[in-house]
Amino acid sequence: MRRTLVTGAAGMVGSHLLERLEAAAPGSTLGTWFRPTVRIEELAGRFALAELDVRDRAAVFEMVARERPATIHHLAAQSLPTVSWADPWETMRTNVEGTVNVFEAVRAVRVQHDAGYDPMVVVACSSAQYGASLTPENVPIDEDTQPLPLHPYGVSKVAQDLLAFQ
């Protein structure tokens, strides 16, 4: 078991987070990747990595049940607004369904294995969820800023934020 799981560890933010976490506690972090946006060769051999498509419910459930991390940094995402216009289904499946899979995997571990399992789950959202609210009078944004996304990617990030809130 590892103390920390980072989904999307082969993305721009995930790769930096993986480096910081491993520097602070060597050997305590497992990073997952699928369709990396950074060169996976730069991470392989330096960090514990596993391929994981967060859309694959069974694989996510198995990973969380096996690792039982105390902290999950859920960064896996389809993060390009242009791609979200071309394929909104892929964006929603990855960002929304993937997030549901992470939270439901935690719940499944509680029900099936360990009623006390209660990891901290950190979900990365985006300023894209604010879209039309990002006007000069609303910057900097705060917790009261209304989400008004302008593309499917922004909508998916609002959904992730609300899933994390619940």
pLDDT, tens digit, 9 for 90 and up, residues 2-23: 699 999 999 989 999 999 999 9
Calculate what percentage of the chain has a pLDDT beyond 70. 99
In this structure, what CATH number is given to the domain that contains residue 122? 3.40.50.720
Predicted local distance difference test score (pLDDT) of residue 42: 87
Domain span including residue 133? 4-165
What pLDDT was estimated at residue 96? 98
**Which pLDDT belongs to residue 93?**
98
Q: Which residues contact 72 (CB under 8 A, 6 or more apart)?
A: 4, 5, 6, 7, 64, 102, 106, 119, 120, 121, 122
Q: pLDDT (tens digit, 9 = 90+) per residue, 84-137? A: 999 999 999 999 999 999 999 999 999 999 999 999 999 998 999 999 999 999
Place 1 in a pLDDT band, splitting at 50, 70 and 90. Answer: low
Catalytic residues: 153
Q: What is the C-alpha separation between 11 and 31, in angstroms, rounded?
A: 10
Provide the terminal-to-terminal Cα distance of the chain, rounded to the nearest Å.
27
Q: What does the pLDDT read at residue 2?
A: 62
What total number of domains does the chain contain?
Answer: 1
Q: What is the mean pLDDT of residues 22-41?
A: 93
State the DSSP string of 45-71: TTBEEEE--TT-HHHHHHHHHHH--SE
Q: Is the pLDDT assigned to residue 62 strictly greater than 60?
A: yes
pLDDT mean across residues, the chain: 95
Q: Report pLDDT for 143.
A: 85
Between CA 14 and CA 7 the distance in angstroms is: 7
